[in-house]
Chain A
């Protein structure tokens, strides 16, 4: 290997080193620490598997995972169903010169604090909130509905956020799609519906899957939205994790529950890995 090659090799390592160091310092080492902590008894500090066994033997802990998966699945599906047509309209029907502005307007809610946005939804959905006042005022219902402090409220809060995220990933995918695919399909006699189902949709699937996966990961690990909008009428996993820390400071159990949550996210990744082509979005 000559000097120039050696220099090039060293340069590549030097450029990669910060990212590697960052990952090592802020992901690998904390993850190892969390793993070791999860195998430690809260009282006494000896080795134990009880932090994991508690999850499988305590029905209310297990229920938190079921709740998390149900909420996440609903949010992901609803967000995709809403975001796809939205992204389609932006990419196909809005004139190119307006698309930047339209996209900016679409992501405008991102500019607000996540916590403020959640509390705003709480006020909108409250007994005396805008929705109930409109429904009772128009005579559609006589008594206010319980919208706030429910799973529905949590879902609405999440969907509001993730529709924006999914719209961006799907829009980017649609814009990368060459018009020649559609022209070729039309030349071969395919109508708009058939072209969409057999050409556009399969080609935009990576964008959908990347957005859906991000939605899944961010939603299943979120603490704020269910805490503010769900009214603690049911617990999801991040709430259960936080609960172990607050007063008792049971970091070993919190670590074990977090690792179980990570295993579920990893399983979700593996399940849809074949469609996850992030470089294409």
Chain B
């Protein structure tokens, strides 16, 4: 067979293309490994993807922070389970879910002496969930409230001091509900006088009844973007489950948006940073956590373009305007009235989600 005829044989062509494809793949994989070795890999929520937050750290340490966003602890842990040990260095996680990562053997204890625990708001240290077996696995980096977000030019701010307003005829069709079952179930529990930290299965029928009353008044149940858009565009005037995380970021464009901590209380949310036990770059991972917890890092995280929230470090380098928008000075009173984020066990969690599903399907 001549060289020319061989080159025209479809099998030879296919074989040659396969060789080229294999070589290209090997190059890409090799390049990927090289890039991975020099980088810090972080599983994050969207507020950590803001270049204004990451760039100063990257420049100071001459490192690239590779981020992967996820929504929901289940989805985040699934990403980790599908990865190789050592693929990830740090993770942002709901503070109440830190034990889930510890149970799976994923996290490394954090060195308390190298992190500014003394500067944190005491109520957001979340020792109950960030300390497991006497060791600290997570540090709260940001927090806020699932409460009532509203447009103060459209509703009576005095009404927003009570959760009962959410189910009153006065605001029928003017309400949106944030689509996340745990905090809103927490709010429903507060509305019927239950403590969020003590919820049991026996409380679910009453909570469901309250949720159905809220749904009857609501125009929509939306995830972050949808509920934020609904409030910002005037589609609704009240957001159940909203708070500074919705209103603060929009304050410049829409100063009429505000939030209240009603007399019944609000649900305290918080997010933590954890380090992976199998991280190949633990020193840099710790540096990243230290940066995020520093006054500068805290200010940038608190005012991230994705969503604002309160920095857990009392020394966060926020401007006066930013502090005013976040109502920084009022935090001690707010925290005193806030209740814990519901942290159900797996069985109760499932039942709560089913109650939420029933609420969504109710007409």
Contacts and interface: CB of A to CB of B under 8 A. Distances in A.
Interface stretch (A163-171, A176-184, A229-237): A229-237
Contacts of A228: 226
Interface of B, helix, strand, loop or mixed by DSSP? helix
B354 A58 contact: yes
A235 B74 contact: no
Interface stretch (B124-132, B304-312, B355-363): B355-363
B75 interface: yes
Interface in A130-148: 146, 148
Interface residues of A, number: 37
Contacts of A246: 71-72, 74-75
Interface string A60-104: 110110010000000000000000000000000000000000000
B357 A235 contact: yes
A247 to B, nearest CB: 4
A247 B74 contact: yes
Interface stretch (B34-42, B216-224, B281-289): B216-224
Contacts of B221: 231-233
B346 interface: yes
A127 interface: yes
Max chain B C-beta neighbours (<10 A), residue from A42, A67, A149: A149
Nearest to B70: A246
Nearest to B361: A60
Interface string A211-255: 000000000000000011001111100001001011111110000
A58 B356 CA distance: 13
A235 B180 CA distance: 14
A120 to B, nearest CB: 12
A251 B71 contact: no
A234 B219 contact: no
Given A11-B10, A60-B358, A246-B71, A231 B77 contact: no
Interface in B324-361: 346-347, 349-350, 353-354, 357-358, 360-361
Nearest to A235: B360
A37 to B, nearest CB: 11
A64 B78 CA distance: 25
B354 A245 contact: no
Nearest to A128: B234
B72 A234 contact: no
Contacts of A232: 179, 220-222, 360
A231 B73 contact: no
A10 interface: yes
Interface string B62-73: 000000000111
A231 to B, nearest CB: 3
A15 interface: yes
B229 interface: yes
Max chain A C-beta neighbours (<10 A), residue from B180, B235, B354: B235
B20 interface: no
19 contacts: A11-B11, A15-B10, A43-B347, A64-B361, A128-B235, A146-B219, A148-B220, A232-B222, A233-B360, A235-B361, A245-B78, A246-B72, A247-B182, A248-B74, A249-B74, A249-B77, A249-B78, A250-B74, A250-B350
Interface of A: 10-11, 14-15, 42-43, 58-61, 63-64, 67, 122-123, 126-128, 146, 148-149, 227-228, 231-235, 240, 243, 245-251
Given A126-B235, A127-B234, 4 more contacts: A123-B233, A231-B222, A247-B73, A247-B182
6 closest cross-chain pairs (CB), A and B:
A249-B74, A231-B220, A246-B72, A232-B221, A149-B220, A60-B361
